[in-house]
Structure 1
Amino acid sequence: MTAEVDRPASVWDARFLWVTVGAVALIFLAAMQSLAVTTVMPVVSEDLDGAALYAVAFAGTLATSVIGMVAVGAWSDRSGPVWPLTTSVLLFVAGLVVAGLAQSMEVLVAGRLIQGLGTGGQTVALYVVVARVYPPALHGRVFAAFSAAWVVPSLIGPFLAGAVTEYLHWRWVFLGVAGLTVVAFTMVALRLWGLPLGTEHPSTARIGARLACAVLVAVGALGLSLAGELDAYAWAAVAASVVVLALASRPLLPRRTLLAARGLPSVVLMRGLIAGALFGAEIYVPYLLIEDYGFSPTWAGLGLTAAAIAWAVAADVQGRFGDRIGNARIALFGTSQLAAAALVAGATAALHLHPVVLIVGWALAGSGMGLMYPRLTVLTLAYSTPQNQGFNSSALSISDSIGAATSIAVMGLVFTALAGTDAAFPAVFGIAVVLAGLALIPGLRLGHAHEKAH
């Protein structure tokens, strides 16, 4: 099960099958739960009389995920990914159970905080599993499969969550995923526990300072999400939170990341910028369809289907032909498609074009992200050694979270400030265009590590 053994032709080879199936299932369930909660949280909030904590129920998971990423990254570098992955899955399941059984919004938020620790740690641990279990020639295929695991949830997650809530109860959105996660993890664990996934030279880096910084990053992320509640002081709160995020995140990222240094720093920086561009803007696509075109929530959510399918197709293309295309061209093609999608969305809002233009145009965003997202993960592992695979994987995920949180907060404030005018939607999509353009700067400095098949 290592690179030294004869290379199989596929991640579905018998030696990898249960690890691949289980890992993809864990990613699928995490995606399903994330999308489902967005659908059912209004019902949960009303049922538990928790409108005041509505935003924190989302922001808390994102914030604590950073702590999980850092802790699991360091732990994996010291002792391998098996125990960190096990602990992360246990925290994820525990958080779901607490939320599913909650009788008050405060308890549900506590469950979401626990869940965030597991979510962040699980992602990093799975990246390290890929690095230790699969040969480099298959890394692109694995991460393409991970990307594809988000497609089905994006197609059926909101609808399924609504049906479960209507015909059963919203609690099963949490409890059902908890049970299925145990099954998925069992597939992975039964295979991993018999493998020597440690390293002969484990990391000896101290973790205390990094964990303290992770806590500060979590505080900054929460501050960003709550800034809109401060009215006249909102922008001051955003500025303070951004400063805290910038200072606290530096020790958690590769050196010179914020300067777009060539190689791994640019990989990590680019990930944060494209995450900010896509996830910040995407929440306004169904909003625009509902607000300006009278779509129902169900049909507005289906408006993102084309982008989800395009993401999966592009991820598969990257997995098969990424080495031939080259990192610079992937960055150029991907950021161009992301910027074009945001431009089309902004033009649709400003000129009141037919909604089909928006839906088809936004598919370009999915295509661009499908090319870039898994490629950046492949590059991160290629630039890593067994001593820092955990740190680098956590840095990539942290950049992702910070980029998305910052962008969502800033776009939200801009949208609120311009609410009621024709400039609101074009403004937020314009921010996405700028972020996509900025992402090309580190994108042209990705370099090459050892991601190519030997």
Structure 2
Amino acid sequence: MTSTQQDQDPGVFPDPEQKMIEEGAPAEDRITGARLRWIMIALMLTMFLAALDQTIVSVALPRIVSDLNGLSSLAWVVTAYLLASTASTPIWGKISDLYGRKIMLQIAIVMFLAASFLAGASQSMEWLIISRGLQGLGGGGIMVLAMASIADVIPPRERGRYTGLFTATFAFSSVAGPLIGGFFVESISWRWIFYINLPFGIIAFFIIATVFNVPAQRVQHKIDYIGAVLMVAGVSTLLLLVEWGGSRYAWGSSTILSMIAASFILLATFIWHETRTEEPLVPMSLFKNPIFTVSSAISFVVGLAMFGAIIFMPVFMQIVQGVTPTQAGMKMLPMMAGMAGASIIIGRLTSRLGRYKMFPIFGTASAAIGMLILSQIAVDTPYWHIALGLFILGMGMGSTMQVLMLAVQNSVPMKDVGAAISGSTFFRSIGGTLGTAIFGAIMTTQLAKNIKDSLPAGSVTDTDISNLTSAVSTIASLPPTLHDIVLNAYASALGHVYIVAFPVMIIGFILTWFLKEIRLSPLLGKEHPEELHHLEQ
């Protein structure tokens, strides 16, 4: 097959930005020495802040809902960020092609910092959720533009070691987030988990303004604003449906039925629109590639189960086990250790063997076992039991997510890698967003049910339960008998979350068996499409 024929392969969507990313910085425009080091420091610092805000909030949630009286809206503090980040990521990349990477990265940083200040100054849950959404818009831009900026300053053959630094930065933020969040909540105020972004973000902004000067390579794009609006509207309606159904409104009420219809129509229209627009957010042609399709399905299911279930463990530790926010962050370290250890080991095994299918099978099975262990938690569960479950769950995460990205990357020509990775990441993010909302609703509903079942019939209303559980300080001040009832209800509700997550993860495990395996190419750069074509014969 000729190069021209390969470029016209209808199985994947050709993204003009990827041509520029593949070619990288021309030799005469290369940036080296101290200037390059400062650029890398600034880019890694901005990515660290954006990634940190996905995890730093978890240990602060009990204190936040105590101060702002919003336990029922707890999941939205995380969901708002994830949803905005997911929807905006493809748009930031294309706008940066039109107006330049540097100026758009600076705008994303300013938006992120302004939203961080607003989040820290929040006086209500509604204020905080809106601020987190704006923060997600900026964070989404930082994540994609920091990675894309590597292509502006590093030639392809040298890019691997620099992207490794960014991967390490992202992994470090996952570990540091709960620890830093716990320190601020316990020592100063939860508001500083947002304010801390300001000084470091300002430093990164001025470094980029000073040293990040590269020739602009404009690529014309048509921005799919309509697709972004349809996707956000459809997913947001679905999230509200999950949160309100069975609690604020009966499942058979006209409001819930209308929301079901609206979410279906909006998401169906989004899919229809994506098949017809010239440059869609999610190129539907990618689904002609079976590896992309299966990997995206696994990423969605795994993202839904894992991200949705993990966020509530620090809440359990603080409310039920009475640990401090810092201690809660420390107690999450077994999961991070499992994830980091598995990522390193699986990465080396994948490179040595040139195969990958066995690792997602092992990873999803491990994650399912971890969730089954965690589903048995109670008020008096020893920490070693929780640590074991978290470690196995983290090991499953580390064995699965990076390998799915590698499988997708290996299944398309080099020029289409960006579009394929973005598409797969999109589904993982959507899964995590829905999982946070769904398991948040399960947690709240099961908590109310457990408390009602433990008290005389008719003695407590939903409003009473909401008032009883609205803040950590309120729970701590309850009479001993009622206090024990609430703690047992919390523990049982979280166990129920993991019980529901277990079969979801089993679905992911089943899907991994349908993942087609293509032996990883030993070739680099532009040899990859020819090698891929040869292997697919």
1:172 aligns with 2:196: no
Q: Please, which moves more after superposition, 429-438 or 216-225?
A: 216-225
Query: Match for 2:230 among 199, 208, 213?
Result: 213
Counterpart position of 1:70: 90
Q: How do residues 236-385 of structure 1 correspond to structure 2 at under 5 angstroms? A: 243=264, 246-247=267-268, 250=271, 251=274, 252-255=281-284, 261-286=289-314, 298-317=326-345, 322-326=350-354, 329-347=355-373, 349-350=375-376, 355-377=383-405, 383=412
Q: Which amino acid aligns with 1:232?
A: A
Secondary structure at the residue paired with 1:311?
helix
Q: How many residues align?
A: 444
Counterpart position of 1:398: 426
Counterpart position of 1:198: 217
**Residues 392-440 of structure 1: CA distance to partner in whole angstroms, max 9, x if unpaired?**
5543443222111223334445555665469725523413422431551
Equivalent pair of 2:299/2:404 in contact (CA under 8 Å): yes
Cα 1:87–1:280 shift into 2, 3 Å:
same
Q: Please, which moves more after superposition, 58-67 or 347-356?
A: 347-356
Query: Match for 2:496 among 411, 421, 424?
Result: 424
Q: CA deviation at 1:3?
A: 6.7
Q: CA deviation at 1:187?
A: 3.9
Cα 1:260–1:190 shift into 2, 3 Å:
farther
Rounded to whole Å, the distance in 2 between the matches of 1:27 and 1:249 is: 30
Counterpart position of 1:35: 55
Secondary structure at the residue paired with 1:204?
coil
1:227 aligns with 2:219: no
Cα 1:321–1:408 shift into 2, 3 Å:
same
Counterpart position of 1:444: 516
Q: Which amino acid aligns with 1:434?
A: I
**Residues 160-205 of structure 1: CA distance to partner in whole angstroms, max 9, x if unpaired?**
334334443333322221221222344445443x223626xx2433
Sequence identity percentage: 23
Query: Match for 1:88 among 100, 108, 112?
Result: 108
Q: Which amino acid aligns with 1:198?
A: Q
Cα 1:381–1:341 shift into 2, 3 Å:
closer
Equivalent pair of 1:289/1:300 in contact (CA under 8 Å): yes
Equivalent pair of 1:335/1:368 in contact (CA under 8 Å): no
Cα 1:275–1:188 shift into 2, 3 Å:
farther
Using structure 1 for the length normalisation, give the TM-score.
Answer: 0.78
Rounded to whole Å, the distance in 2 between the matches of 1:292 and 1:238 is: 35
Equivalent pair of 1:2/1:132 in contact (CA under 8 Å): yes
Rounded to whole Å, the distance in 2 between the matches of 1:53 and 1:414 is: 13
The answer for unaligned runs of 5 or more in structure 1 is none
Q: Which amino acid aligns with 1:207?
A: D
Q: Which amino acid aligns with 1:215?
A: V
Rounded to whole Å, the distance in 2 between the matches of 1:189 and 1:74 is: 21
Counterpart position of 2:13: none
Q: Please, which moves more after superposition, 416-425 or 100-109?
A: 416-425
Equivalent pair of 2:334/2:388 in contact (CA under 8 Å): yes
Equivalent pair of 1:62/1:116 in contact (CA under 8 Å): yes
Rounded to whole Å, the distance in 2 between the matches of 1:345 and 1:237 is: 34
Q: Which amino acid aligns with 2:143?
A: T
Equivalent pair of 1:270/1:443 in contact (CA under 8 Å): no
Q: CA deviation at 1:50?
A: 5.4
Q: CA deviation at 1:42?
A: 4.0
Equivalent pair of 1:223/1:237 in contact (CA under 8 Å): no
Rounded to whole Å, the distance in 1 between the matches of 2:318 and 2:24 is: 50
Cα 1:155–1:221 shift into 2, 3 Å:
same
Counterpart position of 1:113: 133
Equivalent pair of 1:79/1:198 in contact (CA under 8 Å): no
Q: Which amino acid aligns with 2:264?
A: V
Q: Which amino acid aligns with 1:430?
A: F
Q: CA deviation at 1:84?
A: 2.8
Q: CA deviation at 1:241?
A: 7.6
Q: Which amino acid aligns with 1:196?
A: P
Equivalent pair of 1:415/1:428 in contact (CA under 8 Å): no
1:433 aligns with 2:487: no
The answer for unaligned runs of 5 or more in structure 2 is 1-22, 275-280, 451-491, 528-537
Q: Please, which moves more after superposition, 234-243 or 79-88?
A: 234-243
Secondary structure at the residue paired with 1:230?
coil
Secondary structure at the residue paired with 2:289?
coil
Q: Which amino acid aligns with 1:424?
A: H
Q: Which amino acid aligns with 1:307?
A: M
Equivalent pair of 1:280/1:407 in contact (CA under 8 Å): yes
Q: CA deviation at 1:248?
A: 5.7
Equivalent pair of 1:307/1:366 in contact (CA under 8 Å): yes
**Structure with bigger gyration radius:** 2
Counterpart position of 1:181: 201
Q: CA deviation at 1:92?
A: 0.7
Q: CA deviation at 1:122?
A: 1.8
Rounded to whole Å, the distance in 1 between the matches of 2:350 and 2:25 is: 20
Rounded to whole Å, the distance in 2 between the matches of 1:139 and 1:364 is: 32
